[in-house]
């Protein structure tokens, strides 16, 4: 997928993404599409900026993405608005899916979960299904829930039902939060697959890796980070090596993370600034930052792009690849990489999708994988000529409600969000004076009615707490936020929002449930 | 494709392609201030892109589409006339300084505003690196420079000039203390250059030649290098260890020094030539002492020789201690000598035939002397000197000045004084003795004044491979002037050795807008923008204390003082000069700026958090308005192009600070507040980068100089096509944060403090422990985390480490946060 596709879509459906703050350049393209006449559906509990331009705004209750998406499917199936030809040709499991949706997701049930009027859902479904082309863009508002993975499936199902694949302005696209999260996954930074999403359970795959690496590969199932943390708490995982990943600040329910980390026998952190995890570390290794080394990043379009060294690293800081190479060598392996470019060539050897990628080709512009050989131009849109496995499987998207429901003691739903001037845990952006001038501290957004009731004035200090901890913010009162909900960022180390975050995890993928935690709020 | 001819050159164009774009593709120059690819032309286009199309006449190439074969002339006389008229209209409405006033008088040509800008940001090393591009002896010059720049500093209209030289000294000392900034050295070429004289000019020439890769040998008659820095200037002004370290830093670049070899005595130029030196630079300084011309003058001791001998510890101090001394003349030598003798408890009197206002040294030198108890007697000449029984008898007379300011001796006022010692110190001049040193030397031509004749731009003598500079050429001047001539010579020598003509330095003064230099030309509205703030002063030891020893009188600024002082800078020089198409076009079209506006029309607006607006520099091209994706700029221009022109510019509340307006602005009307260093794009390196923040992955260009990222611009590639958000364009300075981890740290338990260790120790410690745990508990007891901010290659290695080395699939990444 190509971000430019946004301009070709006659309908854009934004769900759980506030690109104005989190992906500003995507937001520019959305604006341009709207200027050109595209229609817009926005589903978000908060009146984000794009709701001002939405043809249909669906202010759903946090955590009810699966009901909403299945409800839309319900209308499309019920009204027979789906793309019959596409479904017959490319789709698998249609009958089971249809049955599941029609029997379980009638609009009264959907309405109960989402808080949306059935009429609105019908309108949205009709607009979506009858558009010439439609593109669903989703963000972490969709995925950071207990049924996050199911939500993604439900979104993909909608596109499949309507045949919105493989054509200009069509598809369903997650907007990746961090600049190389795509690349980290592509490279095999996941417990269940190797580089290029190849399974280590597949003999042929294993043989290929073993030939290049000259070692046997493990086949025991690996643990996700939440799995590792749980294992550390149980005293089974003894050592953790974290590169450029400050688990102690960025994970949900970090209080539990701190307990897990302090239970480790050995923790190595490798970073450009002292991470919060450093508190539990035995070794801290200083890395060179992006400007001080060369390498590639892969963006949300699968576009592999080269960045080149501009300045020298401070002190003894070294590129991460240098550190890992030195370590590999010390551990008796024949690692002789002298540059990031050499490593890139090895990636192409174990993964066909990267076979045509090398740093030389990337000097001018990036390449979108799959890029099969040195002449291959890369692939902008996947699935233009059918799907990888013969047919698209319509998965049954299950609904798992949020772990926590507002109740008397903790009556507010806390949702974590991002702010334009900052990035993730803020370790970089908090160290840029211009950005700090723009957004100097963590702010809690709350509804005017709630503020009045609690006696909170604009700009006042507020305390937010639950049984996991308490955090102080400056209040911003805005009717963009519905009653009973508060929104705040996690960019500041003096307002560790993640300590409040629910211990809930995505049922399938272990993603923490950042988007629904219950809290109490009071003036500080 | 359609074939068209532009200025006789055959070019193919796509049907319907815009003529201006065709020309740009073919690298043919057509000026334009308002053209924006894929955007509509503004309502009032700049009109500079006019060209002549055969059969059609004058057309605007930015809207003209090629539909047929064409004959185009971009430089036709009628085209030039139109452009000139438009440009003159723009010039008449332009008000600003292309370059800061302090830039012009500096003989060293230092980017003063630039190095002050780096200091203001706390980036001392970058500041020093910028200085060392043109001055290899900043700690020395930072102590002895007469400060040509400070008198013209605009800040003096507000309160007092910036302490420019003290700031230079500060970063130079910072470098000496915290580790030098070593320039990148190219590999050595197979060409040798000899430099005679290892003073400031010789050292500077050696430094710049080495930076070009030449093998350099410095010869000096003294045993140690440094020339007058070491042997002339007293330690209380310039400590010897400072000289020692600065000189060492230069020699460490791989420059040979041969001391104790005297030109004319031990060797001649001819011998150097035979030894394979392909060029020679003569920089032996000015060693001939000037005389005044009075009876018995030869009886007076030489101040110059005394200072040299004193610095070599060859003076019998007891002979001079506590004596009554007269010094004739008020040169640098006279002052240095006087202050040296004060430190020997002498009673010192300086006698000078003219008034205090006419002394040939900066007044601050006199003030130091006065404070230390030196007596200055002005308007007094020596008539005769006699020596009797160990005492000097000096007959003096008062003077007055004629209308032509010549000295008139009032002989009736003559009186006699007696002293223990009388020194002469009228200053020094170059000698011509070298003519007798050898065959080649004899051929060197002289000026009418009897000094070696050189081309003032190239420092080349009448023999093409012999160059000369420093005091040897222009008489006793300042260290910075000597350094500058050494640098000029190095450039000329390099061109000579490569057989290339010397690149003409573009003197662009004609094209430099200026807000005015003198107070009467200057618009006071500009200075009203700046509140008064005290100038930083160096701590000065009390006169009573300092005359007891030879330790340095002034101590340097603290980092806090330096940053504060640097922030007093008015930043006169245009901080958009690197992107100023307007100036480039004026130079190309040869339109001078003398008719520019002399008064400020609009206040400089600093209200935007990241962008500074100076409407005085706006050329009303509307590029900012047309490129803003948010419609966040209100711009109205009334009576455009006339003297009644009136501009209103506002950022509206829709602005999200992305900054694209600054990057497209073709002048300094919009500039980035975080860019404090004027630079030219040619001097900077452009590095391809990718934004390190969100998953869109915008392509960026980093503009890099002095190991520092000056600014970031968007690259015209997918996915962003030149756009970025506020973080992409402004969010880069974190890499310079003092919080950066710079050393591996380890500890045995989390209850202990970390201790810094070497990489070897740290990596051994990691390897040992991971292996121990793997062996003891099995691979499942280990976990590895990849990053969303490290490269693909690094993430690949991390999971390889987990799987191939430690045999575990416990690998994860931040896909879940």
| Class level of CATH domain A412-523 | mainly beta
Question: How many whole angstroms separate alpha carbon B441 and alpha carbon B463?
Answer: 9
List, by residue range, all CATH 3.50.50.60 domains of chain B: 190-287+430-501, 291-425
- Does the beta-carbon distance from B807 to A177 stay under 8 Å? no
DSSP output for A196-213:
GGB-TTSHHHHHHHHHHH
User: Looking at the DSSP assignment, which residues form a beta bridge with residue A410?
Assistant: none
Give the CATH number of domain A3-175. Answer: 3.40.228.10
Question: Which pLDDT does position B508 carry in this prediction?
Answer: 64
- Least Cα separation, residue B673 to chain A (angstroms): 9
Neighboring chain B residues of A212 at a CB cutoff of 8 Å: none
Question: Which pLDDT does position A382 carry in this prediction?
Answer: 67
The count of other CB atoms within 10 Å of the CB of residue A308 is: 18
Question: Which pLDDT does position B451 carry in this prediction?
Answer: 87
Q: pLDDT above 90 covers what percent of chain B? A: 85
Question: How many whole angstroms separate alpha carbon B635 and alpha carbon B625?
Answer: 7
Question: What is the dihedral angle through the alpha carbons of B209, B215, B219, B222, rounded to the nearest 10 degrees?
Answer: 80
Quick: pLDDT tens for B241-274: 999 999 999 999 999 999 999 998 999 999 999 9
Q: Is A491 helix (H, G, I), strand (E, B) or coil?
A: coil
- Does the beta-carbon distance from B718 to A428 stay under 8 Å? no
Give the CATH number of domain B601-736. Answer: 2.20.25.90
Task: Select the more confidently predicted residue: A55 or B522.
Answer: A55
* Nearest CB to A240 within list B658, B746, B785: B785
* Contact yes or no for A64/A113 (Cβ under 8 A): yes
Q: Which residues, 6+ apart, have CB-to-CB distance to A235 below 8 Å?
A: A263
Mean pLDDT score, B722-726:
95
User: Looking at the DSSP assignment, which residues form a beta bridge with residue B263?
Assistant: B267
Beta strands in A287-442 (DSSP E): 295-298, 303-307, 367-368, 392-393, 412-416
User: Looking at the DSSP assignment, which residues form a beta bridge with residue B756?
Assistant: B745
Burial of A167 (0-12, 13-18, 19+ CB in 10 A): middle
Please report the sign of the dihedral spanned by the C-alpha atoms of residue A165, residue A166, residue A168, residue A172.
positive
* ipTM for the whole complex: 0.95
Q: What is the mean pLDDT of chain A?
A: 95
Q: What is the mean pLDDT of chain B?
A: 93
For the cut 80, the answer to whether the pLDDT of residue A386 exceeds it is: no
Q: Is A291 on the interface with B (CB under 8 A)?
A: yes
For the cut 70, the answer to whether the pLDDT of residue B374 exceeds it is: yes
Q: Which residues in chain A (117-176) have CB-CB distances under 8 A to chain B?
A: 175-176
* Nearest CB to A271 within list B727, B741, B812: B741
- Does the beta-carbon distance from A432 to B708 stay under 8 Å? no
Q: Is A426 on the interface with B (CB under 8 A)?
A: no
- Reported as a pLDDT band with limits 50, 70 and 90, residue B450 is confident
Q: Is B184 on the interface with A (CB under 8 A)?
A: no
Mean pLDDT score, B695-718:
95
Question: How many whole angstroms separate alpha carbon B817 and alpha carbon B811?
Answer: 15
Question: How many whole angstroms separate alpha carbon B80 and alpha carbon B590?
Answer: 10
Beta strands in A166-289 (DSSP E): 171-174, 239-243, 266-271, 283-286
Q: Is A317 on the interface with B (CB under 8 A)?
A: yes
Helix (H) or strand (E) holding A40: strand A39-43
* Contact yes or no for B51/B19 (Cβ under 8 A): yes
Q: In this predicted structure, which of A102-111, A235-244, B464-473 has the lowest mean pLDDT?
A: B464-473
Phi-psi region of B807 (alpha: psi -120 to 50; beta: other; left: phi over 0): left
Q: Is B688 on the interface with A (CB under 8 A)?
A: yes
* Contact yes or no for B352/B326 (Cβ under 8 A): no
How far is CA A117 from each of CA A71, A413, B339, B422, rounded to the nearest angstrom?
A: 11, 21, 93, 107
Tell me the backbone φ, ψ of residue B132, rounded to 5 degrees.
-75, -5
Q: Is B800 on the interface with A (CB under 8 A)?
A: yes
List, by residue range, all CATH 2.40.40.20 domains of chain A: 412-523
Question: Which pLDDT does position A380 carry in this prediction?
Answer: 79
Q: Is B767 on the interface with A (CB under 8 A)?
A: yes
Quick: pLDDT tens for A66-97: 999 999 999 999 999 999 999 999 999 999 99
Question: Which pLDDT does position B526 carry in this prediction?
Answer: 82
Question: Which pLDDT does position A228 carry in this prediction?
Answer: 97
- Least Cα separation, residue B704 to chain A (angstroms): 7
pTM for this prediction = 0.93
Quick: pLDDT tens for B190-203: 999 999 999 999 99
A65-78 and A107-114 helices, crossing angle to 10°: 160
Give the CATH number of domain B2-75. Answer: 3.10.20.740
- Least Cα separation, residue B668 to chain A (angstroms): 20
Question: Which pLDDT does position B648 carry in this prediction?
Answer: 96
Could you tell me the two tokens for B794? 């690094």
Q: Which residues in chain A (2-41) have CB-CB distances under 8 A to chain B?
A: 2-4, 20, 22-26, 28, 31-32
List, by residue range, all CATH 3.40.228.10 domains of chain A: 3-175
Neighboring chain B residues of A215 at a CB cutoff of 8 Å: 804-805
Closest to B108 (Cα-Cα) out of B477, B362, B406, B358: B477
Neighboring chain A residues of B811 at a CB cutoff of 8 Å: 188-191, 222
Burial of A336 (0-12, 13-18, 19+ CB in 10 A): exposed
How far is CA B269 from each of CA A97, B200, B205, B218, B545, rounded to the nearest angstrom?
A: 96, 20, 17, 13, 48
**Thinking of the domain B291-425, which architecture would CATH place it in?**
3-Layer(bba) Sandwich (3.50)
Which alpha helices (H) appear in B133-163, and where do they start and end? 138-144, 155-158
Closest to B611 (Cα-Cα) out of B730, B479, B721: B730
Q: Which residues in chain A (229-258) have CB-CB distances under 8 A to chain B?
A: 231-232, 236-245, 247, 250-252
Q: Is A194 on the interface with B (CB under 8 A)?
A: yes
- Least Cα separation, residue A190 to chain B (angstroms): 4
Q: Is A274 on the interface with B (CB under 8 A)?
A: yes
Q: Is B141 helix (H, G, I), strand (E, B) or coil?
A: helix
3-state secondary structure A285-302: EEECCHHHCCEEEECCCC
Q: Is B81 on the interface with A (CB under 8 A)?
A: no
Q: Which residues in chain A (354-413) have CB-CB distances under 8 A to chain B?
A: 363, 365-366
- Does the beta-carbon distance from A310 to B687 stay under 8 Å? yes
* Contact yes or no for A374/A307 (Cβ under 8 A): no
Q: pLDDT above 70 covers what percent of chain B? A: 99
Q: Is B699 on the interface with A (CB under 8 A)?
A: yes
Mean pLDDT score, A496-513:
92
CATH: 3.40.50.11540, 3.50.50.60, 3.40.350.10, 3.80.30.20. Which one for B190-287+430-501? Answer: 3.50.50.60
- Does the beta-carbon distance from A26 to B814 stay under 8 Å? no
């Amino acid at each position: 997928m190509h971000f430019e596709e946004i301009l070709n879509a006659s309908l854009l459906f934004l769900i759980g993404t506030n690109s104005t703050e989190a992906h500003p350049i995507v937001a520019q393209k959305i604006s341009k599409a709207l200027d050109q006449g595209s229609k817009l559906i926005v589903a978000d509990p908060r009146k984000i900026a794009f709701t001002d331009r939405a043809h249909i705004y669906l202010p759903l209750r946090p955590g009810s993405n699966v009901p909403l998406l299945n409800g839309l499917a319900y209308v499309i199936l019920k009204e027979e608005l789906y793309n019959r030809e596409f479904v017959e040709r490319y789709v698998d499991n249609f009958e089971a899916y249809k049955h599941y949706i029609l029997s379980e997701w009638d609009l009264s049930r959907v309405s109960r979960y989402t808080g949306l009027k059935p009429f609105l859902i019908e309108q949205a479904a009709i607009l979506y299904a009858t558009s010439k082309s439609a593109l669903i863009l989703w963000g972490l508002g969709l995925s950071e829930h207990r049924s996050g993975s199911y939500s993604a499936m439900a979104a993909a199902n909608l596109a499949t039902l309507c045949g919105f694949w493989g054509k200009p302005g069509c598809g369903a696209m997650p907007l990746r939060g961090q600049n190389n999260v795509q690349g980290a996954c592509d490279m095999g930074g996941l417990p269940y697959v190797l580089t290029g999403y190849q399974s280590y359970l597949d003999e042929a795959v294993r043989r290929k890796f073993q030939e290049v690496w000259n070692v046997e590969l493990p086949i025991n199932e690996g643990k996700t980070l939440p799995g590792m943390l749980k294992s550390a708490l149980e005293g089974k995982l003894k050592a953790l090596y974290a590169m450029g990943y400050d688990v102690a600040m960025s994970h949900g329910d970090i209080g539990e993370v701190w307990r897990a980390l302090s239970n480790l026998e050995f923790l190595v952190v490798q970073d450009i600034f002292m991470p919060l995890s450093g508190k539990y570390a035995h070794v801290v290794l200083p890395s060179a930052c992006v400007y001080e080394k060369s390498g590639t990043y892969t963006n949300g379009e699968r576009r592999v792009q080269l960045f080149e060294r501009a300045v020298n690293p401070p002190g003894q800081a070294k590129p991460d690849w240098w550190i890992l190479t030195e370590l590999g060598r010390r551990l008796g392996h024949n690692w002789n990489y002298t540059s990031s470019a050499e490593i890139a060539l090895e990636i192409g050897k174990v993964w066909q999708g990267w076979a045509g990628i090398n740093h030389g080709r990337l000097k001018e512009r990036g390449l979108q994988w799959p890029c099969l050989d040195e002449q291959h131009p890369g692939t902008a849109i996947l699935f233009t000529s059918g799907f990888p496995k013969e047919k698209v499987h319509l998965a049954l998207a299950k609904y798992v409600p949020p772990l926590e429901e507002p109740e008397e003691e903790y009556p507010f739903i806390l949702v974590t969000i991002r702010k334009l001037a900052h990035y993730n845990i803020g370790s970089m952006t908090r160290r840029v004076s211009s950005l700090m001038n723009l957004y100097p501290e963590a702010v809690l957004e709350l509804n005017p009615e709630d503020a009045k009731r609690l006696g909170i004035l604009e700009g006042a200090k507020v305390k937010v707490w639950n049984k996991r901890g308490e955090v102080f913010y400056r209040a911003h009162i805005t009717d963009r936020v519905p009653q009973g909900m508060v929104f705040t960022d996690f960019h500041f180390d003096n307002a560790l929002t993640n300590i409040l975050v629910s211990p809930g995890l995505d049922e399938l993928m272990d993603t923490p449930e950042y988007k629904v935690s219950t809290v109490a709020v009071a003036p500080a | 494709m359609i074939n068209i001819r532009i200025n006789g050159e055959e070019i193919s164009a796509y049907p319907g392609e815009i003529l201006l774009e065709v020309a740009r593709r073919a690298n043919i120059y057509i000026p334009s201030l308002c053209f924006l690819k894929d955007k509509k032309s503004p309502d009032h286009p700049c009109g500079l892109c006019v060209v002549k199309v055969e059969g059609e006449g004058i057309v605007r190439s930015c809207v003209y589409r090629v539909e047929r074969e064409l004959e185009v002339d971009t430089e036709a006389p009628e085209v030039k006339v139109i452009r000139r008229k438009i440009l003159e209209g723009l010039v008449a409405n332009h008000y600003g300084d292309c370059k800061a006033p302090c830039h012009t008088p500096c003989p060293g040509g230092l980017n003063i505003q630039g190095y002050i800008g780096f200091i203001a940001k706390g980036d001392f090393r970058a500041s020093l690196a910028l200085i060392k591009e043109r001055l290899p002896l900043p700690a020395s010059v930072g102590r002895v420079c007469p400060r040509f720049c400070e008198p013209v500093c605009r800040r003096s209209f507000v309160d007092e000039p910036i302490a420019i030289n003290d700031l230079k000294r500060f970063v130079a000392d910072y470098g000496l203390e915290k580790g030098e900034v070593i320039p990148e050295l190219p590999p050595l070429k197979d060409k040798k250059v000899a430099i005679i004289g290892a003073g400031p000019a010789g050292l500077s020439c050696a430094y710049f030649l080495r930076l070009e890769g030449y093998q350099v040998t410095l010869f000096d008659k003294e045993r140690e290098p440094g020339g007058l820095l070491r042997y002339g200037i007293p330690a209380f002004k310039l400590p010897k260890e400072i000289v020692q370290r600065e000189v060492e830093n230069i020699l460490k670049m791989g420059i040979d020094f041969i001391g104790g070899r005297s030109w004319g005595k031990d060797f001649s130029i001819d011998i150097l030539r035979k030894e394979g030196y392909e060029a020679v630079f003569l920089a032996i300084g000015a060693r001939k002492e000037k005389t005044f011309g009075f009876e018995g003058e030869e009886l007076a001791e030489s101040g110059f020789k005394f200072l040299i001998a004193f610095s070599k510890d060859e003076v019998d101090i007891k002979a001079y201690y506590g004596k009554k001394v007269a010094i004739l003349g008020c040169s640098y030598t006279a002052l240095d000598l006087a202050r040296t003798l004060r430190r020997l408890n002498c009673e010192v009197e300086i006698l000078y035939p003219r008034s205090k206002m006419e002394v040939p040294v900066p007044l601050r030198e006199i003030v130091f002397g006065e404070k230390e108890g030196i007596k200055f007697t002005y308007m007094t000449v020596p008539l005769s000197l006699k020596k009797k029984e160990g005492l000097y008898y000096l007959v003096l007379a008062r003077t007055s000045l004629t209308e032509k300011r010549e000295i008139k001796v009032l002989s009736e006022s003559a009186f006699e004084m007696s002293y223990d010692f009388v020194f002469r110190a009228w200053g020094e001049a170059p000698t011509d003795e070298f003519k007798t040193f050898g065959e080649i030397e004899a051929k060197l031509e002289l000026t009418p004044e009897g000094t070696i004749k050189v081309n003032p731009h190239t420092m080349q003598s009448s023999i093409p491979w012999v160059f000369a500079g420093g005091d040897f050429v222009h008489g006793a001047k300042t260290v910075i002037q000597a350094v500058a001539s050494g640098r000029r010579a190095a450039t000329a020598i390099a061109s000579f050795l490569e057989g290339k003509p010397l690149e003409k330095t573009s003197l662009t003064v004609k094209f430099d807008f200026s807000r005015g230099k003198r107070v009467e030309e200057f618009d006071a509205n500009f200075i009203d923008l700046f509140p008064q703030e005290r100038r930083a002063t160096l701590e000065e030891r009390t006169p009573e204390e300092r005359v007891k020893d030879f330790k340095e009188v002034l101590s340097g600024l603290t980092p806090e003082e330096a940053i504060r002082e640097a922030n007093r800078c008015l930043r006169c020089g245009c901080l958009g000069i690197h992107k100023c198409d307007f100036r480039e076009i004026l130079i190309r079209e040869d339109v001078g700026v003398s008719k520019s506006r002399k008064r400020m029309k609009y206040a400089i607006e600093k209200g935007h958090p990241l962008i500074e607006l100076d409407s005085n520099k706006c050329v009303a091209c509307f590029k900012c308005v047309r490129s803003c994706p948010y419609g966040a700029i209100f711009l109205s221009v009334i009576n455009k192009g006339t003297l009644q022109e009136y501009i209103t510019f506002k950022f509206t509340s829709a602005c999200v600070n992305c900054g694209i307006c600054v990057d497209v602005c073709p002048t300094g009307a919009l500039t980035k507040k975080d860019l404090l260093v004027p630079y030219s794009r040619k001097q900077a390196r452009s590095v391809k980068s990718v934004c390190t923040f969100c998953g869109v992955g915008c392509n960026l260009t980093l503009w890099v100089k002095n190991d520092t990222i000056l600014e970031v611009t968007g690259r015209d590639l997918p996915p962003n096509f030149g756009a970025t958000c506020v973080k992409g364009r402004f969010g880069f300075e974190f890499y310079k944060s003092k919080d950066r981890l710079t050393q591996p740290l380890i500890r045995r338990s989390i209850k202990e403090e970390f201790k810094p260790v070497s990489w070897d120790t740290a990596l051994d410690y990691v390897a040992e422990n991971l292996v121990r745990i793997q062996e003891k508990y099995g691979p499942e007891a280990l976990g590895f985390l990849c990053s969303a901010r490290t490269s693909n290659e690094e993430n690949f290695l991390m999971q390889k480490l987990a799987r191939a080395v430690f045999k575990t699939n416990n690998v994860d990444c931040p896909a879940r946060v």
